[in-house]
Amino acid sequence: MQKTDKYEIISELAKRRGFFWPSYEIYGGVSGFLTYGPLGTKLKQRIEAKFRDFFIKPLNILEMESSIVMPAKVFEASGHVKAFREPMVECRKCKRKFRADHLLQEQAQMSDTQTEKLSLQGGAKELKKHGIRCPECGGELGKPQYFMTMFSTSIGPYSDAVGYGRPEAAQGVFVEFKRLYETARGKLPLGVVQMGHALRNEISPRQGPIRLREFTIADIEFFFDPKEPQCPLLKKEIGKETLRLIPAEMKRKDARRAEQVTVKEALRKGYIKTEWQAYFMVLAKHFLKELGVPDDSQRFIEKLEWERAHYSSQGYDQEIYLDRWGWTEVSGHNCRTDYDLRQHMEHSGVDMQVFKEYDRPKLAKKLTIEPILAKIGPTFKKEASEVTALLSEANVQEVENSLKTKGYYMAGSFKILPEHIRIMHKEIEESGRRFLPHVVEPSFGIDRLLYAALEYAYEKRNERTLLKLPRELAPVQVGVYPLVTKGGLTKKACQLHRMLMKEGFSVEYDEAGSIGRRYARADEAGTPLCITVDYRTLKDNTVTIRDRDSWKQVRTRTERLPETIRAYLSYTKNFKDMGESP
Ligand SMILES: [Zn+2]
């Protein structure tokens, strides 16, 4: 018998209890789409809330929301139209299509580092060499071709107005940078986050919540002055913290073991090039820890040159260990330099540079073009002023090169000869400088985080399933139960239920089945606390509280409940201090 892995168990539990399930099941389902039920939606909201607490609040990061469909121009400029593609093979017999690199990883045990390096021809050779055939029907495979993995559509009734579903939230930030920068009143560093759905038209996703065609992404774009790249929080807060790293130089030697290094050391050795990136990596480590993934089940692995996204100058993946898929990426940390802003500046013609004023003006030497009016006037006559205007806007370097190589320079349709101008160094006073900010980007896949939280919370105890979710993530925080449905206990329990809801908790009332069955259901939903109303409650207004993790109980007065539950959920109170032993 095949051993069931945690993914199977979690999927079954997720379907049965309404965390998530494959979408459109009544129509046979389409892989790569997931529907979140009531418990899953709540859990996802709580993870997103935690993300905001963790990353956004402390750094005053601005949150924004842009549209999912974006015009083709955006992704032509960003380079996605060219680079966002995967190698695909088709089965000649059953016509099913697969990711060529995934087949090589699954059937020829090649690493993703190896398959990333392959060209189409290289991939074809490897497929042949390993005798790989269709995993569904055993048929022969055709030649690999590239498939663009952005969803495309047309905007409005015009078929030539191509639009794409965004494959990342980041571009929404870059194209709006000018306004965001103004909103922040010209301050750097400036962090902007966008959390929302993104679309990737995966070729054949077969990994449930790990590889989705529509998913929730949280992209932080952190802009800073490349001349002032220091992160002031580093020394104060996290210089001595450690990260488990597999930097490129170790990965090239095929090292599989992560090295535990302090942040300071990682920066000194050049493992991580940007201080802000190191800072966010440490934050990401703590974030995953608080979602329930311990340190030693996490690592950061650097992307080799050919594995990096086209916009990245250095990239680390944060990986966690999952039962079925092994090391799996949950966040990416890329240094995008000024790549995106520069691309959008060139393609849109809009200046995306920021201006930073010097404390005191500086004298600078600048190459300038000086028109010699005595020559320009007679040559161009009426059009002389147009010529001088064009020259004042010309790029000095271009003019100089053109005169050197061709002997003339074309200003619009006017032919400028060396005798018309003088190129000279002029001393001018500069009050500041113009530049494009650089960007460090931590990017998280929320659906993977949710799955990871569930897998790490899962425990089997005495044949019973327990979801030991971190208290603040639990979709239902408190269960309220009458011990039996007689003697006025239901009424009292309903009152309590209403009172706790008014206090802002997410509470579930349940009177069906034995109290043991109800506790078991609560354990499976990850509900941290269960409150039971019994006959003694009617006499002295006390109830029992039962702890999901230890299955122990204490007894306390109902009026103390809101305060004590709040303290427990925020980890400022231990369970045994919530009341007296019953
Ligand atoms: Zn086939």
Q: How far apart are CA 202 and CA 242, in angstroms?
A: 35
Ligand 1 centre distance from Cα of residue 141 (Å)? 8
Going from the Cα of 140 to the center of ligand 1, the distance in angstroms, rounded, reads 7
Give start and end residues of each alpha helix (H) in 238-367. 248-252, 263-268, 275-290, 339-348
Instruction: Give the Å distance between the CA of 125 and the centre of ligand 1.
Output: 19
Q: How far is the CA of 151 from the centre of ligand 1 (A)?
A: 25
What's the mean pLDDT in 110-115?
Answer: 88
Determine the average pLDDT of the residues in 439-456: 98
Find the mean pLDDT for residues 338-349: 96
Q: Judge whether 463 and 446 are in contact, CB under 8 Å.
A: no
Token readout for 175 is 């194209």
Q: 322 CA distance to ligand 1 centroid (A)? A: 29
Between the CA of 152 and the centroid of ligand 1 the distance, in Å, is 27
In angstroms, what is the span from residue 116 Cα to ligand 1's centroid?
A: 24
Fill in the amino acid letter for 104. Answer: L
Using the predicted structure, report yes or no on whether residue 87 has a pLDDT greater than 90. yes
Q: Residue 131 C-alpha to ligand 1 middle, in angstroms?
A: 14
How far, in Å, from the CA of 88 to the mean position of ligand 1? 13
Degrees, nearest 5: CA angle 516-519-525: 145
The whole-model pTM stands at 0.88
Q: How far is the CA of 134 from the centre of ligand 1 (A)?
A: 5
pLDDT above 60: residue 312: yes
> Phi, psi at residue 149, to the nearest 5°?
-100, 20
More confident residue, 158 or 562: 562
Distance in Å, CA 89 to ligand 1 centroid:
10
Distance 146 CA to ligand 1 centre (A): 19
- What superfamily would CATH give domain 6-84+149-339+440-445? Bira Bifunctional Protein; Domain 2 (3.30.930.10)
Hey, which bits of 91-200 come out as E strands? Answer: 97-99, 145-148, 152-154, 162-165, 190-199
Lowest mean pLDDT among 93-102, 207-216, 356-365: 356-365
CA of 135 to the centre of ligand 1 (A): 7
- Whether the Cβ atoms of residue 76 and residue 52 lie closer than 8 Å to each other: no
- Mean pLDDT check: name the lowest of 320-329, 396-405, 462-471: 396-405
pLDDT tens-digit readout, 31-73: 999 999 999 999 999 999 999 999 999 899 999 999 999 999 9
CATH architecture of structural domain 360-433: 2-Layer Sandwich (3.30)
In the reported structure, the alpha carbon of residue 33 is separated from the centroid of ligand 1 by a whole-number distance in angstroms of 23
Give the distance (Å) from ligand 1 centre to CA of residue 562.
59
The alpha carbon of 97 and the centre of ligand 1 are apart by a number of angstroms equal to: 8
Please state at what angle helix 373-380 crosses helix 384-393, rounded to 10 degrees: 130
**Number of helices (H) and strands (E), helices first, in the chain?**
22, 28
Q: What is the pLDDT of residue 348?
A: 95
Q: How far apart are the C-alpha atoms of 377 and 467, rounded to whole Å?
A: 85
Q: Please give the average per-residue pLDDT across 331-352, as a whole number.
A: 96
- Please give the Cα distance from 443 to 193 (Å, whole number): 9
Under 8 Å between Cβ of 554 and 578: yes
Looking at the predicted structure, is the pLDDT value of residue 397 above 60?
yes
**Do the beta carbons of residue 143 and residue 85 sit within 8 Å?**
no
Other C-beta atoms lying within 10 Å of the C-beta of residue 193: 22
CA dist 561 and 537 (Å) reads 13
- Give distance in angstroms: CA of 66 to centre of ligand 1: 40
**What is the Å distance from ligand 1's center to 215 Cα?**
28
Residue 3 has pLDDT above 70, yes or no: no
Task: Identify which of 309, 288, 306 has the alpha carbon closest to the alpha carbon of residue 297.
Answer: 288
- Among the residues of 29-132, which ranges form H helices? 38-51, 72-78, 80-83, 100-107, 112-116, 120-129
150 CA → ligand 1 middle, Å: 25
Number of Cβ within 10 Å of residue 481's Cβ equals 28
Tens of pLDDT, residues 487-506 = 899 999 999 999 999 999 99
Query: How close is the Cα of 90 to the center of ligand 1, in Å?
Result: 8
**How far is CA 261 from each of CA 177, 232, 417, 562, rounded to the nearest angstrom?**
35, 20, 61, 43
Average pLDDT score over residue span 558-575: 96
Kind and range of the H or E run holding 243: strand 242-246
CA of 120 from ligand 1 middle (Å) equals: 20
pLDDT above 90 for 130: yes
The Å distance, Cα 87 to ligand 1 centre, comes to: 17
Run of H or E including 222: strand 214-224
* Cα 147 to middle of ligand 1, angstroms: 18
Pair 316, 272: CB distance under 8 Å = yes
pLDDT, mean over the chain = 93
> How would residue 2 be classed by pLDDT, with cut points 50, 70 and 90?
low
Residue 234: its pLDDT value, please? 85
CA of 396 to the centre of ligand 1 (A): 61
Separation of 133 CA from ligand 1 center, angstroms?
8
In this structure, CATH architecture of domain 85-148: 2-Layer Sandwich (3.30)
In the chain, domain spans: 6-84+149-339+440-445, 85-148, 360-433, 476-578
| Alpha helices in 469-514, H assignment, sequence order | 489-502
Nearest to 565 by CA among 506, 510, 509, 515: 506
| Ligand 1 midpoint to CA 144 (Å) | 15
- CA–centroid distance, 99 to ligand 1, in Å, is 13
Q: What is the mean pLDDT of residues 380-407?
A: 88
> Which residue has better confidence, 446 or 362?
446
Least confident of 28-37, 276-285, 302-311: 302-311
What is the predicted pLDDT for the residue at 239? Answer: 76
Q: How far is the CA of 201 from the centre of ligand 1 (A)?
A: 21
285-295 pLDDT per residue, tens: 999 999 999 99
DSSP-assigned letter for residue 140? P
Q: What is the pLDDT of residue 1?
A: 47
| Encoded tokens for 36 | 């979140």
Q: Alpha-carbon Rg of the chain, whole angstroms? A: 30
Q: Residue 20 C-alpha to ligand 1 middle, in angstroms? A: 30
Choose the CATH number for 476-578 among 3.40.630.10, 3.80.10.10, 3.40.50.800, 2.130.10.10: 3.40.50.800
How far apart are the CA of 138 and the centre of ligand 1, in A?
6
Residue 340: which H helix or E strand, with range? helix 339-348
C-alpha 98 to ligand 1 mean position (Å): 10
* Sequence-separated contacts (24+) of 264-271 with Cβ below 8 Å: 264/239, 264/240, 271/245, 271/247, 271/302
561 vs 479: CA distance, rounded Å: 13
For residue 143, the CA-to-ligand 1 centroid distance in Å is: 14
**Residue pair 309/299 in contact by the 8 Å Cβ criterion:** no
Whether the predicted pLDDT of 109 surpasses 60: yes
The rounded distance, in Å, linking the Cα atoms of 31 and 25 is: 10
Cα(462)–Cα(485) distance, rounded to whole angstroms?
Answer: 28
Asked if 305 and 292 touch (Cβ cutoff 8 Å), the reply is: no
* 92 CA → ligand 1 middle, Å: 7
CA 164 and chain centroid, separation: 19
Q: Are 261 and 294 in contact (CB under 8 A)?
A: no
Q: Is the C-alpha dihedral spanning 257, 258, 259, 265 positive or negative? A: positive
Distance 91 CA to ligand 1 centre (A): 5
pLDDT surpasses 70 at 311: yes
| Residue 255 confidence (pLDDT) above 80 | no
